[in-house]
Amino acid sequence: MNGLNKINNMVHPIMKAIFKKREDQDEKLLKNIENYEQKEKAEQQKSKVLGQKPVKRTRRKEKSTSMHNSSRV
């Protein structure tokens, strides 16, 4: 039984550290979500004031480089 207690005493701090790190990551994630929501809300309010549709942020699509009707030369 004494060996099992030693193992428990070694594992306990490790598990505690893992859970603590996970809690910190969760808190950061929640803060980031809140910040994103606030920015999104501000963008929508801004567009309402200007009478525009909400802005969708998308990457620019690269133009196609294929040549149509390439047989005509």
What pLDDT, on a 0 to 100 scale, did the predictor assign at position 30? 95
Q: Under 8 Å CB-to-CB from 55, ≥6 apart: which residues? A: 43, 47
Q: Which tens digit of pLDDT belongs to each residue from 19-42?
A: 888 999 999 999 999 999 999 998
Q: Is residue 51 pLDDT above 70, yes or no?
A: no
CB 49 within 8 A of CB 39: no
Is the pTM here over 0.85, yes or no? no
Amino acid type, 37: E
CB 55 within 8 A of CB 47: yes
